[in-house]
Amino acid sequence: MNRIHAGVLTIVASAVLAACGGGDDDDEPPARATIVTAQLAGQATAAQIDQGTAASGIQPLTGAAACDVDIRYVLYMTRDPAGKPATASTAVFVPSGTAAQCSGNRPVVLYAHGTTTTKSYNIADISRDTTTGAFNNAGGSEGSLIVAMYAAQGYIVVAPNYLGYDKSSLSWHPYLNADGQAVDMVDGLRAAKAHLTTTSGSKPSDKLFITGYSQGGHVAMATHRALERDYGGEFTVTASAPMSGPYNMVGMGDAVTAGQVNAGAIIFTPLVINSYQRSYSNVYTDINDVYQEPYAATAETLFPTDDSLSDLIAAGKLPNDPTFTNMLFGPGGLLTDEFRDSYEGSGYRKDLVTNTLAGVDGTTTIVWKPQHPVALCGGAGDPTVFWAVNAPVAQQAFATQQVQVPAFNLEDRASLPAGVAGDQIYGGFQQAKQAAGANVTAQYHGTLVPPFCNALVRGFFSAL
């Protein structure tokens, strides 16, 4: 697979000036989804894709590749949560080849990726180091999975990197800001479709599917909601299938502050706090009320970064807790007891309610009514995004709107599709957990669940 070179990503100087507010102050900023630069960045052949899925053991889930995949990269204009212009980028994985499903009008999967702290994250770069075999970019693993699962089977995949990552001009990331991230996703989709109109033999059909994993599950659901609410004259959603996402944000916040701290909370919580403080300006007036010393001094600019987590710990910017879970509060922890104790009536909790997509706040159900099919997927043993707090609660919330949403739980055979396909998914997941051994908890959310849920999601989409 061809590596994406830095020169390919060069931005036209005039576009940068416009995006960042340079030039004449009376100039209108470029419209949303304006393409700044777009390139064919490489290609993955079917043989290369099969080699990768065979080596990782996921080919029984992905199937053999039917198509080669062109790897396209688009830098586009969007808006930050304050409505100010900013650039962001997206991968566009396009099937190619002689098989019928590899050209012509192809269904589109709009994919939202999971949480990353790595500033240079670029899901379009799925190249590997020729010596070690390791991915050259933090986005390579997730990117290669969706290439094999969707693009190599005939779907056009649009996968934005999000504001704040890769070559984005925004210095921070609007993490789990439902409306803010949906705007970015919509503009990435628009720019990708405009790019393909003039450059590719494969064109977007009228089928539009939305999915994403973890953070991306929340983003996918938010994007489905926004497309039906705000962009119905431009797009028609065929279906969505969010995976392992925190749809019930306030439920997650309540659980964590009550002592049920999720795995990785020391990473996720600063991302959420910084996003909501920058978006709503109501989380704190004095950062020392939120973070313990010495973390308050650097918390606002901590993520995203290309510094490794181990380097951040060594520099005293994160607690020395390799689990990123046990020192969220308490002596030497990241956050103050004052922040935890004042949580119930705080601006922070209000922001979590605002960004809850399908959940419960006390006795109040928070939900929207999808006009097109939705399915959920995850695993009840997830230590990172609690299944019980999210998927079944969301399922029940949608039911209040007379919308029946299947929730595929990899730990519950009865929740999975009937027949051989469901048997294989359930049995394969149990085998994968057994093979993980003592590492099953550490691998559960980020490694074990994604390929199985994506296989279920593709099956759900293919039936529509």
- Dump pLDDT digits (tens) for 228-277: 999 999 999 999 999 999 999 999 999 999 999 999 999 999 999 999 99
Helix, strand, coil distribution of the chain in percent, nearest 5: 40, 20, 40
Mean pLDDT of 318-342: 97
Q: Which residues of 98-125 are buried (b: 16+ CB within 10 A; e: fewer)?
A: eeebbbeebbbbbbbbbbbbbbbbbbbb
pLDDT in tens, 340-389: 999 999 999 999 999 999 999 999 999 999 999 999 999 999 999 999 99
Residue 19's pLDDT is 42
Position with higher pLDDT, 216 vs 22: 216
For 220-253, give one letter per residue: b (16+ CB within 10 A) or e: bbbbbbbbbeebeeebebbbbbbbbbbbbbbbbb
What is the value of pTM for the model shown? 0.95
Q: Tell the burial category of 308 from Cβ atoms under 10 Å away from its Cβ (0-12, 13-18, 19+).
A: exposed
The residue assigned the tokens 């380097």 is 311
- Token pair, residue 126, equals 């799925």
For 381, the token pair is: 């043993």
Check pLDDT > 60 for residue 29: yes
Nearest Cα to Cα of residue 157 among 461, 464, 405, 463: 461
pLDDT band at 155 (very low <50, low <70, confident <90, very high): very high
Q: Could you tell me the pLDDT band of residue 27, with boundaries at 50, 70 and 90? A: confident
pLDDT-derived band of residue 200, with 50, 70 and 90 as boundaries? confident
Domain 6-248+365-462 falls in which CATH fold?
A: Rossmann fold (3.40.50)
To the nearest whole percent, how much of the chain has pLDDT over 70? Answer: 94
* Cβ atoms of residues 141 and 443 within 8 Å: no
The 3-class secondary structure across 7-53, one letter per residue, is: HHHCCCHHHHHHHHCCCCCCCCCCCCCCEEEEEEEEEECHHHHHHHH
Per-residue pLDDT at 15 exceeds 90: no
Query: Once rounded to an integer, what is the mean pLDDT over residues 270-299?
Result: 98
What burial class does residue 463 get, using C-beta atoms within 10 Å of its C-beta: 0-12 exposed, 13-18 middle, 19+ buried? exposed
pLDDT in tens, 35-91: 999 999 999 999 999 999 999 999 999 999 999 999 999 999 999 999 999 999 999
- CA nearest neighbour of 107 among 31, 218, 209, 183: 209
What is the separation of C-alpha 47 from the centre of its chain, rounded to a whole number of angstroms? 27
Does residue 156 contact residue 199 with C-beta atoms inside 8 Å?
no
For 408-462, write each residue's pLDDT tens digit.
999 999 999 999 999 999 999 999 999 999 999 999 999 999 999 999 999 999 9
Task: Please check the confidence at residue 103 and state whether its pLDDT lies above 80.
Answer: yes
Question: What's the mean pLDDT in 126-132?
Answer: 96
pLDDT band at 26 (very low <50, low <70, confident <90, very high): low
* Paired tokens of 373: 């099919």
Residue 4 has pLDDT above 50, yes or no: no
Check whether 164 has a pLDDT greater than 60.
yes
- In this predicted structure, the answer to whether residue 10 has a pLDDT above a threshold of 50 is no
Residue 9 pLDDT greater than 60, yes or no: no
Contact between 29 and 80 (Cβ < 8 Å): no
